[in-house]
Amino acid sequence: MLWSMLFPSEATLEKSEMLNAVNAIRIEGCQCGNKRMPPVSKLKWNEKLERSALSHASDMAKHRYFSHYSRKGEDVGKRVDKFNYNWLVVGENIAEGQRNFQEAMQDWLKSPSHCKMIMDPKVDEMGIAKSGRYWVQHFGKRKLSRK
């Protein structure tokens, strides 16, 4: 679900809670598999990343598949491009079947590759969406614009 489609106060609360949960892990550092990940800077919420996450979650829910690639074979970079997110770095976590964000977050942290994505120091923005049974978390860092 696109959180801003909820009542505005609920949308802000949901986004804030998810962002705070991810940032709490990032600023403390954590163990990702057999690798200790040091603390990294906090992320900011990004609406374009949220919309791209919702698009992928909705497509997976509608067509009942689970993949980091779209049905057309597009990776996260190509999918984020469609939302005019001018990225330098982009990444994605997906999950299926968790009842709430806390469960999705726990499962991502148990997976070394997903955990490392959460702890990636190269990203500084995030958006998350859920559609049906599917969670998508997009991360990014934008290119600096030249004027």
**7, exposed or middle or buried, with CB in 10 Å at 0-12, 13-18, 19+?**
exposed
Query: CA angle 75-66-90, nearest 5°?
Result: 30
pLDDT in tens, 95-123: 999 999 999 999 999 999 999 999 999 99
pLDDT in tens, 31-48: 999 999 999 999 999 999
What is the pLDDT, as a whole number, of residue 138?
98
User: Rounded to a whole number, what is the distance in angstroms from the first to the last CA of the chain?
Assistant: 36
Q: DSSP class of residue 11?
A: H
Give the number of other Cβ atoms within 10 Å of residue 99's Cβ.
Answer: 8
What is the pLDDT, as a whole number, of residue 7?
35
Residue 15 has pLDDT above 50, yes or no: yes
Distance (Å, whole) CA 80 – CA 87: 8
Q: Which residue has the tokens 């998350």?
A: 128
